Structure 1
Amino acid sequence: MTIIDWVKGDHSSLSIPTHAQALREGGVDFLNKAFHNSGFLSTNNQITKIIQLEECFGGSTGQKLLLSLEYAFPEAQLHTKLFVKFSRDFNDSIRDRAKNQLAPEVKLALLSQMKGFPIAVPSCAFADYHEASGSGILITERIAFAQGNIEPLYEKCLDYTLPQPLEHYCAIITALGRLAGTQKSGSLSEGIAKHFPFIPEQQAINQPIRYSPEQLQRRLSRISEFAARYPKLLAENIRQADFFKQCSLDIPQLLLREKAIKKYLNENTDFIALIHWNANIDNAWFWRDKESTLQCGLMDWGSVSQMNVAMALWGALSAAELSLWNDHLDELLALFASEYQKAGGPQLAPAELKFQMCLAVAMLGLAWLMDAPAMILAEIPQLNAETDRFDPLFEQHESARTQLQMLNTFLNLWQSQDFASFLNRFIAD
């Protein structure tokens, strides 16, 4: 892989570093140019010293750094502790393949600088991207988790440790509705369609289910065997033989109508809006305002675009506990519809939102979750009949934990909402 050190950014026209070492070499000189260019730093102020420039690890894309700065003059809202994300990772070809995910995230960060942006996102100090090489850099405030009035970072699929989960998910859903509705109102920017186009073929929902009916039936049998062998890992209502028989009947019908369902999910523009596609609990931060109301900010906007909002709601709720789904789904969907309309979006019927969500989850689950047992066992081969999902093994293995929780969520929705009834309604309509 050819390493490119600096490229000319498409947005600022500055030369921008493409990796950590280049940023180190550019140092204070580059950062002053960048921050003055973005307006993050006033022209009569400057960075005098880099206190910290330390690589941190995590995520599935490019290099990331913790950056701390000293300024000549302290200013209100001038963050000293920052987070740097590059699109590239020249040391890891697999991670580097995801370099294009930063392009829309940079555009979202630049859009968030507009006055009156409707939700909280990490304050952008500088963002730029070079489309031709897939090289980009994003510098934002570093969220101070567990400091002051900001709550700790909550890990994905550990919601059984989350205090007041409904309140937290209401905060997330409120933020999603406000952003999507504001975009639909037309008050964000005239360039939304250009910078965040809705391209159906690029949506996750439109990736083909790569299995034949026979292959899916074999995978369903393996899930049934997994449930019998490890009874404490899957919810009781989805371990029943009758449920797996119903799934076996539903699968051919869902596959037969795959293209028609996906067309349906793409054609109603009232449901297509700019929204975070993966607003899980670990991509949010929380604090209470003066009235003690829980507020929420959203981060990690990679691949942000316009998309079907029902699918984005699945993305936000997919790692939640089943009790939240079983007891509060209608409430959360109604909340989104209310916030969406209040912010300027069209009126959405919560029942139609649920209908579209269940159709989307059926498609996504068949495409991406039917191999979950094999993936879980590959990561944690020492499972036994007494292991439950609260075992410390799952706390230590995020991928296995995520696969398990999302499999539970997918199958629970299939059983509790009766996908067959949604399919019958789709056929009838």
Structure 2
Amino acid sequence: MDSSVIGDDTAVELPLDPAGLRSAGRRFLTSAFHAYGTLAPGNFVARITECDEVGGGSTGRKAIVSVEYAVPEPHLPTDLFVKFSRHLGDPVRDVGRTQMQPEVRFAELARRHDFPITVPATLFADYHARTGTGLLITERIRFGVGGVEPQHHKCLDYEMPDALAHYQTVIMSLAQLAGWHRRGAADDVIARFPVDLQAATVGERPPLREDRLSRQLARLAEFAQTHPSLLPASTRDPAFLSSLAEQIPLIVAADTALWPQLAASTDHIALCHWNANVDNAWFWRGHDGRLRCGLMDWGCVSQLNIAMALWGALSAAENALWDEHFDDLVALFVHEYAASGGPRIDRGALAAQVLQYAAIMGATWLLDVPALIRARLGEPAEAMTRFDPAIKHDEGIRAPLQMLTNVLNLWQTRNVGELLAALC
């Protein structure tokens, strides 16, 4: 493949990776920022003072860059974050390259003067559809600096002060964006962000099959007995897990029925972030002392059923937040959605869709967590809790484990089986 391609919108040659960006240097940044309208015609990038690759995320490659401008301007960030859609050396990460196309479109949308929520300022964004090559350059969020809270990592909410307030501000931002869209403030969203509910995923979603579910649930029941400290007591109850296995035909039928029903709930369809968990947000206190947030990492952004967005935002929370505050958070979304211009919807119907979607996502993606833990940690995991360093410091284990416990807890406490039966 060529070392660079031409972006579809700006006609700028796009480097594929951090090395290509370093080679293209300040002249590339200057031409890219001019093409995107970021830099005034007489200004230019005078110097690059930092350009280092960083890890993170599930797709592409990333870099942090710092620059100096010939003419400093207050609105021009100097500390930047760069996302490349491609990772030619890692086919697993490269397969997600198409996620950047809607993210590039969203970056352009977010430049509107009336855009309702806070997102990172974009200095350049473009995408080459034929090859899936994209480049996104935004301001870098400086966690723990200038009043911004330190970053809150996924599934470590037990270390986050006032978790409820953080989720409330995320939910309000989601509702404000959705309401803004639905009141017609951005009519071209319809063309640029088509409704495709099953495209909002990382990787191809495997079909649910009775034989596979039966094996997975049998392993889960065994895991619950051999790893008693990794699941809440109520969710490892043999009677509950046995009843879950009896619902396998219902789960498969509900999977088929769910998607058309989510799509048919037209008042629930709006532009939304698919994965607005706290690790995809940054938080600060306003002058009035109230907590505020910005949302980042807009891969897969599209028109969704808002139930999908709520599960994405809450899926990694603590069980206690679901138990004590889920209904209030749904009510908050419903209120803010209508106040921001969206239709008035029934909060009970929305809550049901969140739980139905969570159940199907759990059955699709999370039932292999026992196999994952055994493969990664072996026999020592039998004596571990989720606070053990081997789990706590490995997001690839702690996140799916916490999400699984949420799904199991909801299934037991919220009559999810009955909600799935209502789909069929």
TM-score by length of 1: 0.95
Letter in 1 for 2:144: A
Gaps of 5+ in 2: none
Q: Is 1:346–2:338 an aligned residue pair? A: no
1:284 touches 1:296 (CA, 8 Å); kept in 2? yes
1:376 touches 1:403 (CA, 8 Å); kept in 2? no
Letter in 2 for 1:50: I
2:96 touches 2:202 (CA, 8 Å); kept in 1? no
1:260-409 → structure 2 map (5 Å cutoff): 260-409=257-406
Give me the whole-angstrom Cα distance separating, in 2, the residues matched to 1:333 and 1:151.
Answer: 25
SS in 1 for 2:230: coil
SS in 2 for 1:383: helix
Gaps of 5+ in 1: none
Deviation string for 1:266-304 (max 9, x for gaps)? 111111111010111111100010001100111111111
User: What displacement does 1:228 show?
Assistant: 1.1
1:52 touches 1:68 (CA, 8 Å); kept in 2? yes
**Structure 1 stretch 206-215 or stretch 365-374: which is displaced more?**
206-215
Residue 256 of structure 1 corresponds to which residue in structure 2?
253
Residue 7 of structure 1 corresponds to which residue in structure 2?
5
SS in 2 for 1:286: strand
Give me the whole-angstrom Cα distance separating, in 1, the residues matched to 2:124 and 2:102.
Answer: 14
Deviation string for 1:149-187 (max 9, x for gaps)? 000011111111111000000011011111111111110
Q: Is 1:226–2:223 an aligned residue pair? A: yes
Residue 245 of structure 1 corresponds to which residue in structure 2?
242
SS in 1 for 2:247: helix
**Structure 1 stretch 174-183 or stretch 204-213: which is displaced more?**
204-213
Residue 199 of structure 1 corresponds to which residue in structure 2?
196
Give me the whole-angstrom Cα distance separating, in 2, the residues matched to 1:206 and 1:30.
Answer: 32
Give me the whole-angstrom Cα distance separating, in 2, the residues matched to 1:75 and 1:225.
Answer: 61
User: What displacement does 1:415 show?
Assistant: 0.6
Give me the whole-angstrom Cα distance separating, in 2, the residues matched to 1:82 and 1:329.
Answer: 36
Deviation string for 1:170-211 (max 9, x for gaps)? 0110111111111111102x3212211102453449976634
Residues 206 and 311 of structure 1: CA distance in aligned 2, closer, same or farther (over 3 Å): farther
Give me the whole-angstrom Cα distance separating, in 2, the residues matched to 1:384 and 1:206.
Answer: 28
Residue 39 of structure 2 corresponds to which residue in structure 1?
41
SS in 1 for 2:81: strand
TM-score by length of 2: 0.96
Percent identity between the two aligned chains: 43
**Structure 1 stretch 377-386 or stretch 225-234: which is displaced more?**
377-386
Letter in 2 for 1:364: M
Residue 80 of structure 1 corresponds to which residue in structure 2?
78
Letter in 1 for 2:245: S
1:209 touches 1:366 (CA, 8 Å); kept in 2? no
* Runs of 4+ that moved beyond 6 A: 205-208
Residue 93 of structure 2 corresponds to which residue in structure 1?
95
User: What displacement does 1:257 show?
Assistant: 3.6
1:206 touches 1:262 (CA, 8 Å); kept in 2? no
| Superposition CA RMSD, Å | 1.7
Letter in 2 for 1:120: T
User: What displacement does 1:382 show?
Assistant: 4.3
Residue 118 of structure 1 corresponds to which residue in structure 2?
116
Residue 147 of structure 2 corresponds to which residue in structure 1?
149
Letter in 1 for 2:392: E
Residue 169 of structure 1 corresponds to which residue in structure 2?
167
Give me the whole-angstrom Cα distance separating, in 2, the residues matched to 1:244 and 1:154.
Answer: 32
Letter in 2 for 1:401: R
**Structure 1 stretch 164-173 or stretch 7-16: which is displaced more?**
7-16
SS in 1 for 2:383: coil
Q: Is 1:137–2:135 an aligned residue pair? A: yes
Task: Give aligned pairs, total.
Answer: 424
1:200 touches 1:206 (CA, 8 Å); kept in 2? no
User: What displacement does 1:24 show?
Assistant: 1.7
User: What displacement does 1:384 show?
Assistant: 4.1
